[in-house]
Every structure is written in C-alpha cells, then in structure tokens.
Amino acid sequence: MTTTIQDQDSKAPAADAAIERSAAYYRLKADVEDFYYHEADLLDDRRFRDWLDLLTEDISYFMPIRRNVKFGQQAARENTKRGEGISWFDEDKWTLTKRVEQILTGVHYAEEPLSRITHMVSNVQIKGARPEVGAARELDATSRFLVYQNRVEYETYIFVGRRNDTLRLTDTGWKIARREILLEQNILLAKNLTTFF
C-alpha cells in the first residue's frame, strides 16, 4: 500500500501548493464562508429539508472512525476509509434523506423532543478551485467545526473537528458534493450522532 502524509481522503493539496492570496481568492473565500453560515442556520433552525437541497444528488458524506495508531502510521491507518468497512457515516443522499424523514416523523425519540444545536464554522480555507479561482465552478475547502448539542435537560455534547469539502456551483448556488468530517474522538463520547455535521 502506498501512503502519503496527507489523509488519502482529503483532496487538500500540501501547504506549499497553497493558492495565491489574491483579491479573487478572498472573494471566493467570503462566498464559501457565507455558504457555511447559511448551512449552519438551516441545520440549527431545523430546516432539514432545505439543508438537503444544499447537497448534490451524488454527495458522498463521510465521517471516519479515528483510531490510536503508532507514529508514522497515521496516514495509512488512523482513519477508517471511505468506501470500505465501517465508519460513523459513509453515505449518499438517499440515506441522508432517510435521516431527515425520520426526524420529521415526530416519533424518532432520539430527536424527539428536538435537541438544541448550534454549529460554529471557522478556519475556512480554499485549497483548490476549478477551472480557476476567479471563475470557480468547483472548489475544495477545509474548515473547523464546533457543534454544541443540548438535549432534553442535562444532556450536553460538544463535537469538535475538521471538515474537508468539495463544493460545486449549480444554477441555485453552491452545493456540497463531497464532505469528510474528522471528529476529534476515538471512542465516541456521545450516546448518539443524531445531528448533521
């Protein structure tokens, strides 16, 4: 197996290949940040169907399980892989739609009553733009998230991690075509993952 320092699932290029910080870059970055804030609003306002509309039909939504491995094996073995074995999430739009439908039944007791959730997004960077930064139709963006969940009375969870996304421009604006969610936990310190990241 060949391995590189970059996580195999991350399309983010190495730091030395960073995009030049031009005015066009900052304009694009602002657009992406705005998109993420809008996405967070939809989720936190529980507009789940509208959130689904932000996903392309061929979305790949992936959250690996993170493992404790020996130094030097991180790239090859730390994260479970997209497309093989068991991860927390490795799914398509059909499954994500099912998750939304389940919440909307009103009897999905793990989200009934609904949790109070806030998504914070930061550290946004554009790592690639195609065909070019000034006229991007598709881009790779990395960010950090902090998701706060309070459930019923005393249940509280804080999920912190990174996202590696590919966004695609459509007639109705940017959409998420690929998302990798790296939660900074090994054993999941929460009873459930009922929220979207």
Partner 1 sequence: MPLRNDFDQLVDVKGGFISREIFVDADIYRQELDKVFTRAWLLVGHESLVPNPGDFYTSRMGEESVILCRDKKGEIHVFLNSCRHRGMKVCRYEQGNTSLFTCPYHSWTYTTDGKLQGVPLHRTLYDGVLDREANSLVSVAKLCNYKGSIWATWDKDAPDFITYLGDARIHLDQALDCRDGREGGSEVIGVHKWVFPANWKFAAENFLGDTYHNPSHRSVDLIGIGPSAAAGKKGRRDDELEKAQHVWISFPEGHGVHSAIQPEANDYIESFLDNPILEKYFRHCFEERKRRLGEQARLLPFVGTIFPNTSYHGRQPRGLCAWHPHSPTSTEGWRFFLVDKDAPKEAKEYLRRYYMRYSGPAGMTEQDDMENWLYATAASTGTIARRYPFNYQQSMGAYVTDHPLGGEVSTQITEQIARGFYRRWTSYMQGGDWHELLGAPAGNRQAAE
Minimum Å distance from CB 34 to partner 1?
29
**36 CB-near residues (< 8 Å, 6+ apart):** 121, 124, 143
Minimum Å distance from CB 172 to partner 1?
26
From 2-10, 13-21, 97-105, 116-124, give the range in contact with partner 1 by CB under 8 A.
97-105
Minimum Å distance from CB 14 to partner 1?
27
Q: How far apart are CA 125 and CA 143, in angstroms?
A: 7
**φ and ψ at residue 189, rounded to 5 degrees:** -95, 45
Report whether 48 contacts 166 (CB < 8 A).
no
From 36-44, 92-100, 121-129, 164-172, give the range in contact with partner 1 by CB under 8 A.
92-100
Among 98, 116, 130, 137, binds partner 1 (CB under 8 A): 98
Question: Which residues from 168-197 bind partner 1, rule CB under 8 A?
Answer: 186-194
Q: How far apart are CA 176 and CA 162, in angstroms?
A: 15
The amino acid that residue 197 corresponds to is: F
| Shorter beta-carbon distance to partner 1: residue 43 or 167 | 43
**90 CB-near residues (< 8 Å, 6+ apart):** 60, 61, 62, 63, 82, 83
- The answer to the question of residue 109 lying near partner 1 (CB under 8 A) is yes
- How many CB atoms are located within 10 Å of the residue 71 CB? 5
- The answer to the question of residue 52 lying near partner 1 (CB under 8 A) is no
Among 27, 67, 116, 137, binds partner 1 (CB under 8 A): 67
Binding residues vs partner 1 (CB under 8 A) = 63, 65, 67-70, 73, 80, 84-91, 94-95, 98-99, 101-102, 105-111, 152, 155, 186-194
